[in-house]
Structure 1
Amino acid sequence: MTESAKAGHNSGLDPAQERAFIREFGAVKEAEAEMAEQKGVLSGVYKRLENAGFTKDDVKWAKDLEKKNVSEVVATMRRRIAIATIMGHAVGRQMDIFEKDRTPLEDAAYLEGLGAGRMRKANANPYGMETAAGQNWQKGFNEGTAEANQALAEAMNDNLIKAGDESSEDGEGGDAPETETEEAEGAEEDDDWEASAPKPEAAE
């Protein structure tokens, strides 16, 4: 190696640092490629939600509901209504939507179980099966789980149908028709075979 080549090769960094950069730079590119792929997948999911009548804000709201308890959600909504009141927005005159929940315990338990099953949460009955509320919660959980399973089965079936359609499109057309030259060559081969075939002897 010439002196100029050595000078150009020398980064001034420790060889271990150089190797670390080379290794991790490759890892960054791989991670970015995976992120781009996942971003495409996520875009497809949001598109299907949009087709079903939902928005990204709906998804964000659902995530907030999973993380926050009832009092936190109500406090947030009350604060937003207060701000709407300051601005003179009509929503500010809707405070009565936060009246105390008067749903009977057994009915509320069923709805809670239904939501837990739909979201595929753990089968953790908070009431106990010895109570009516606990039995209703379990009933709701079972029904919600069945709905989630049905939704998953429909999604898998749609994917299978889509894959089948794509496969059919790839296989359409069959064998290409013979050209005139190929047909002529085939006819000549038939004539040659007939000429060479042994003829039956005439009966005496």
Structure 2
Amino acid sequence: MTTQLSPEMSLLLSKMTEQLNLQTKTITEKITAAVLQKVDEKLQPIIEENVKLKDEIENLNKKIQNLEANSKRNNVILHGLPETEEENHDDLNTLVTSTLRGIDVDIEKGEIDRLQRLGRKGDKTGKIRPILLATTTLQKKIHILKNKQKMKPNSYITQDLPKSVLQAKRDEKNRYKNDNEKRKRSETPSPGNANKTLNKIKRKDAFQFMRERSYSLSDKKTHRN
């Protein structure tokens, strides 16, 4: 036989349960806060170390970029100059010196620090490999770049830029292209707008017709009178 609690006992039990739950919640929150504090204390040095490492890596990347830029300081790249299967270094030297002579730039053997084709020979793409020319002086490089507009069709000269600079230029070009495409899309009227414009013109023509019709009828009445 089940004993039924009196209302007073039921209320007391309910209050005790409520108090127990409240104490349990308080204890849990305190334990959680204490654990999180300990975790934060352990993680904080690691976080600070990661920040320092990121700064060091960024500084190292900047130094590497500066070193790369300095190593390419006197370099130019010649594009589109014909390549033969039997081409050797002497042939390459003759090709480059004669090409530069054609754009009014005389370059002596002692003014060439490095000269080579870029890329793997015998590439299946069939593209002509560009030529890297490293001059011994910056003045000679500047002279070459000033006359680069004189190159024959399908050939041209560019600077030998670091990869980071080239990537930044590509990103800027892509942003400019995307902005242009968005602007063109916004300027091109949609079929719905075009139909609305056409309907407006039609309505305008209809109103003009009604006005002309009205004037015509008024003229007829005037003549009759």
TM-score range normalised by the length of the shorter chain: under 0.3
Give the structure-1-normalised TM-score: 0.26
TM-score w.r.t. the length of structure 2 is 0.24
Q: Name the structure where strand makes up a greater proportion of residues.
A: 2
Structure whose alpha-carbon radius of gyration is higher: 2
